[in-house]
């Protein structure tokens, strides 16, 4: 074999080896099949909300004074925790305070006049009785008896009128006090001041009928929260109060919070004609979870309709 033939044979062998290597590396891989042992478990039937739900406080109130006026006192700030009865805002009311003071003084005057009138009536009554006894003994004339009786009756009438004036003054004082209270805004329950829409010396007015305006103070109760989620009307048939649920919130990632269906709305929301839903309220089962909640968190929920052992 000549050197040329040997080199040609070697080249053919190298090409064949390269082609074999390329085929081996690019050949179709067999499908890998995993084998798992079948185990028995629990199968749950669930429904979930169609859109994100919301964490809501059990009590939330948008508060405004019952009358218009200028803000004179604003002793709270946003984020402050308050107790029921805490003064949140007070309008300028010096004129009403003066009117209340006048009503109090008028009561004092009327009571003094009533005391004097009723004392005079007692004296007139005793005098009439004395004249009556004298008349029985023929020591007083009919004219004296009639005069004494008339004086006693007039004095008694004046006593009753004076006491009525006292009651009238007391009612006027109550009216002035009620008018003064309308200038004060107090917390109806324990909570946190979420928002204040007003500053000192600004004027506020109550909302006209049919026109919604921002409340001066937005108060949110703390320590009690629940989730409201929209469930598609096609899935609502099996949902009822007392069913268990799992709640997840974007704020806590994959953490699941156990809950219980509290209420299913009695009507269908049809704001979006193609996606009619029913609101479902869910309570948190664990008291310790409430401390981590904030009103307004977005939330999702799975409601467990039933469980089956598979």
Instruction: For the chain, give the number of residues.
Output: 310
Residues 64-121 pLDDT 10s:
998 899 999 999 999 999 999 999 999 999 999 999 999 999 999 999 999 999 999 9
Task: Decide if pLDDT at 211 tops 80.
Answer: no
**What's the CA gap between 165 and 175, in Å, rounded?**
15
3-state secondary structure of 91: strand
Mean pLDDT of the chain: 86
**What pLDDT is recorded for position 35?**
59
pLDDT tens sequence across 136-178: 888 878 888 788 889 889 999 999 999 999 999 999 999 999 9
Integer Cα distance of 77 and 195 in angstroms = 8
Exposure pattern of 16-35 as b/e (b: 16+ CB <10 Å)? eeeeeeeeeeeeeeeeeeee
Given the DSSP bridges, would you call strands 277-284 and 69-73 parallel, antiparallel or unpaired? unpaired
Condensed to tens digits (0 to 9), the pLDDT of residues 215-241 reads 999 999 988 899 999 999 888 888 999
Coil, strand or helix at 179: helix
> Token pair of 126, please?
């005793």
What distance in Å separates the CA atoms of residue 239 and residue 229, rounded to the nearest whole number? 12
- pLDDT for the residue 258: 95
Q: Are strands 277-284 and 298-309 parallel, antiparallel or unpaired?
A: unpaired
To the nearest whole percent, how much of the chain has pLDDT over 70? 84
How confident is the model at residue 37, as a pLDDT?
65
Beta-strand ranges (E) seen in the chain are: 42-48, 53-57, 60-63, 69-73, 81-82, 87-91, 184-186, 191-196, 203-204, 217-220, 225-232, 244-249, 256-264, 277-284, 298-309
Is the pTM for the entire model greater than 0.85?
Answer: no
pLDDT tens digits, residue range 245-299?
999 999 998 899 999 999 999 888 876 666 789 999 999 999 999 888 999 999 9
Burial grade of 276 (CB within 10 A; 0-12, 13-18, 19 or more): middle
Question: What pLDDT was estimated at residue 141?
Answer: 84
For residue 114, give the nearest of 166, 46, 192 by alpha carbon: 166
Whether 306 and 255 have beta carbons less than 8 Å apart is answered as: no
Question: For residue 118, is it left (φ>0), alpha (ψ between -120 and 50) or beta?
Answer: alpha
Share of the chain above pLDDT 90, in %: 54
Q: Let me know: does 299 contact 252? Beta carbons within 8 Å.
A: no
Highest average pLDDT, of 3-7, 31-35, 169-173, comes from 169-173
Asked if the model's pLDDT at residue 208 lies above 90, the reply is no
């Amino acid at each position: 074999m000549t050197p040329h033939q040997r080199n040609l044979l070697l080249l053919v062998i190298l090409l064949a080896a390269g082609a074999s290597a390329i085929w081996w590396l690019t050949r179709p891989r067999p499908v890998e099949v995993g084998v798992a042992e079948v185990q028995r478990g629990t199968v749950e039937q669930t429904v979930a909300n169609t859109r994100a739900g919301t964490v809501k406080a059990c009590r939330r109130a948008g508060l405004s004074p019952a009358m218009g006026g200028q803000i004179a006192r604003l002793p709270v700030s946003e984020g402050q925790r308050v107790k029921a009865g805490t003064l949140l805002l007070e309008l300028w009311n010096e004129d009403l305070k003066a009117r209340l003071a006048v009503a109090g003084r008028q009561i004092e005057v009327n009571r003094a006049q009533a005391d004097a009138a009723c004392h005079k009536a007692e004296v007139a009554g005793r005098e009439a009785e004395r004249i009556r006894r004298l008349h029985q003994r023929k020591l007083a004339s009919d004219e004296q008896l009639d005069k004494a009786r008339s004086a006693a009756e007039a004095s008694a009438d004046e006593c009753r009128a004076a006491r009525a004036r006292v009651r009238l003054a007391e009612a006027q004082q109550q009216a002035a006090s009620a008018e003064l209270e309308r200038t004060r805004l107090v917390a109806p329950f324990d909570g946190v001041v979420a928002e204040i829409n007003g500053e000192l010396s600004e004027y506020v007015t109550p909302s006209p009928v049919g026109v919604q305006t921002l409340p001066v103070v937005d108060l949110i109760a703390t320590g009690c929260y629940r989730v409201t989620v929209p469930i598609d009307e096609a899935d609502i048939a099996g949902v009822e109060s007392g069913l268990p649920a799992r709640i997840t919130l974007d704020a806590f990632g994959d953490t699941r919070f156990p809950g219980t269906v509290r209420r299913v709305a009695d009507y269908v929301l049809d704001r979006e004609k193609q996606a009619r839903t029913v609101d479902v309220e869910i309570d948190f089962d664990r008291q310790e979870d409430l401390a981590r909640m904030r009103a307004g968190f977005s939330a999702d929920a799975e409601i467990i309709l039933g469980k089956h052992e598979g």
